[in-house]
């Protein structure tokens, strides 16, 4: 079987690694991939096609007789890559453009959750600066959370602690137009207290299977300080998501979401990422994503013991509840190494050295993100450069091994958080 993975991050490197464990796989193509997928060799090769070049991706899939395509990031989903592949009769894992609105339109997601009585913060939608400003001036309580409705690469959310900050945010969104059309509609919602965790499902639109819950570390600085990033590390399972909380998430969020999307005419297929705030055991939805998370994928896929490809095939062809979907015992942790300056401007092209003994750490794997191979050298080529994942009998064990791996990797200006998972220990 030939598989095409669309994307270039550590998430897609982890997907390539996970599908390779299936004996059925002959070739794995990653478009465009990164230095890590370039170095996997054997069955894996990079394809120089960008994630939003839908025509070229589809042509490639037919020429190379790709049996199954997996979409990593949200941009191609928002452009309708799944609709295109399906219309051409090709198997693809992901939601259609209409269903992906759970991520690509926060207004759609909030209105949908309201229609389906899915627990989430109270909100209002604004389409002009004047209306939003009038609302904030009359608003009695802060913090308020201001969100651009469209895709903003994780940067379109401001948790405004004061009226002043909130007014600055809507000015940025509506007047300075820092996110362009993505902020033509803005959601202002109430602040949820509690702790964050994420739950991931794979679904065929009706049946679903759950991966382990995970916790991301979004801020650049230790102690959850500083700017938001794509994610600086993660671990799974999240102790916060007890079996009781998971049962509530299934009953109050996942089932009504799948049933509601199907009833409204947009059955949701592929991966569903549910970002949650949990307070005293009660879950509330912070966001939906129409894909797996990065860096969460680097912990949830290594914990999947059964065959990933069988589950993906069943999510497209049916019978998802009949395939094995078993998890390893223990925990996984991943620590991200980023370029100096990230999440602001950063330099690229720094040579990366990876001590080969990293491969000897039992259960550890290096997943690349912003790396590229140039001749015999490996160079930095992005903000988040790579992540080291490790499995362990306990979270402590997994974290120790991940940090042991980090200690064996060097490049000029490398940054990483030393407190990944610390709160859960």
Is residue 202 within 8 Å of 208, Cβ to Cβ?
Answer: yes
Interacting residues with ligand AMP between 200 and 259 (CB under 6 A): 218
Q: In the set 20, 125, 139, 159, which binds ligand AMP (CB under 6 A)?
A: 159
Nearer residue to ligand GLY within complex by CB, 67 or 216: 216
Beta strands at 27-32 and 331-338: parallel, antiparallel or unpaired = unpaired
Q: In the set 45, 135, 191, 404, which binds ligand AMP (CB under 6 A)?
A: 191
**What count of Cα atoms within 13 Å lies in the side-chain half-sphere of residue 118?**
28
Question: Which residues sit opposite 188 in a β-bridge?
Answer: 124, 146
Give the interface size with ligand AMP as a residue count (CB under 6 A).
13
293 contributes a contact to ligand GLY by CB under 6 A: yes
296 binds, among ligand AMP, ligand GLY, none (CB under 5 to 8 A by kind): ligand GLY
- Per-residue binding letters, 93-132, with ligand AMP (x by CB under 6 A): ----------------------------x-----------
Edge-to-edge strands, sheet with 282-289? 208-210, 195-203, 270-279, 282-289
CB of 134 vs ligand GLY, minimal distance in Å: 32
Q: In the set 53, 98, 216, 307, which binds ligand GLY (CB under 6 A)?
A: 216
Question: Please, where are the H alpha helices in 28-162?
Answer: 35-38, 54-63, 74-78, 81-87, 101-104, 106-115, 129-138
CB of 215 vs ligand AMP, minimal distance in Å: 11
How far apart (Å, rounded) are the C-alpha atoms in residues 328 and 391?
Answer: 9
12 contributes a contact to ligand GLY by CB under 6 A: no
| Stated length of the chain | 425
Rg of the Cα atoms in the chain? 21
* Alpha carbon of residue 376 to chain centroid: 31
Which of 13, 14, 151, 15 has the alpha carbon at shortest distance from 76? 151
CB of 392 vs ligand GLY, minimal distance in Å: 21
Q: Which residues contribute to the site for ligand GLY (CB under 6 A)?
A: 154, 216, 230-231, 289, 293-294, 296
Q: Which residues contribute to the site for ligand AMP (CB under 6 A)?
A: 121, 145, 147, 157, 159, 189, 191-192, 196, 218, 275, 286-287
């Amino acid at each position: 079987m030939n598989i095409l993975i669309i994307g270039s991050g550590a998430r897609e490197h982890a997907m390539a690694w996970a599908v390779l464990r299936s004996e059925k796989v002959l070739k794995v193509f990653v478009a465009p991939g990164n230095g890590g997928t370039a170095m996997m060799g054997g069955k894996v090769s990079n394809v120089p096609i960008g994630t939003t070049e839908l025509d070229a991706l589809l042509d490639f899939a037919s020429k190379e007789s790709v049996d199954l395509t997996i979409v990593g990031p949200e941009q191609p989903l928002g452009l309708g890559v799944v609709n295109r592949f399906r219309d051409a009769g090709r198997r693809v894992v992901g939601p259609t453009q209409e269903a992906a609105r759970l991520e690509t339109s926060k207004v759609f997601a909030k209105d949908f959750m309201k229609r389906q009585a899915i627990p989430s913060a109270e909100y209002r939608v604004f389409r002009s600066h004047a209306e939003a400003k009038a609302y904030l001036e009359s608003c009695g309580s802060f913090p308020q959370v201001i969100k651009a409705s469209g895709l903003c690469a994780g940067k379109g959310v401001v948790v405004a602690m004061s009226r002043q900050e909130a007014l600055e945010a809507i000015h940025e969104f509506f007047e300075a137009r820092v996110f362009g059309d993505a902020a033509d509609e803005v959601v202002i919602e109430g602040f949820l207290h509690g702790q964050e965790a994420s739950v991931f499902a794979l679904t065929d639109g009706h049946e679903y299977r759950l991966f382990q819950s995970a916790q991301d570390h979004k801020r650049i600085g230790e102690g959850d300080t500083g700017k938001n990033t794509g994610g600086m590390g993660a671990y799974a399972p999240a102790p916060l998501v007890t079996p009781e909380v998971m049962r509530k998430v299934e009953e109050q969020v996942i089932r009504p979401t799948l049933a509601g999307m199907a009833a409204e005419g947009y059955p949701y297929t592929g991966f569903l990422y549910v970002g949650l705030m949990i307070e005293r055991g009660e879950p509330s939805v912070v966001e939906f994503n129409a894909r797996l998370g990065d860096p969460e994928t680097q912990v949830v896929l290594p914990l999947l013991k059964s065959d990933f490809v069988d589950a993906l095939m069943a999510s497209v062809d049916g019978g998802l509840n009949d395939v094995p979907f078993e998890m390893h015992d223990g925990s996984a942790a991943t620590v991200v190494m980023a370029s100096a300056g990230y999440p602001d401007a950063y330099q690229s092209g720094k040579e990366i050295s990876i001590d080969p003994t990293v491969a000897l750490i039992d259960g550890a794997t290096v997943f690349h993100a912003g790396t590229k191979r140039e001749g015999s050298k490996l160079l930095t080529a992005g903000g988040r450069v790579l992540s080291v994942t490790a499995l362990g009998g306990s979270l402590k064990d997994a974290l120790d091994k991940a940090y042991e791996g980090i200690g064996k990797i060097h490049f000029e200006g490398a940054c990483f958080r030393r407190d990944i998972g610390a709160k859960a220990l």
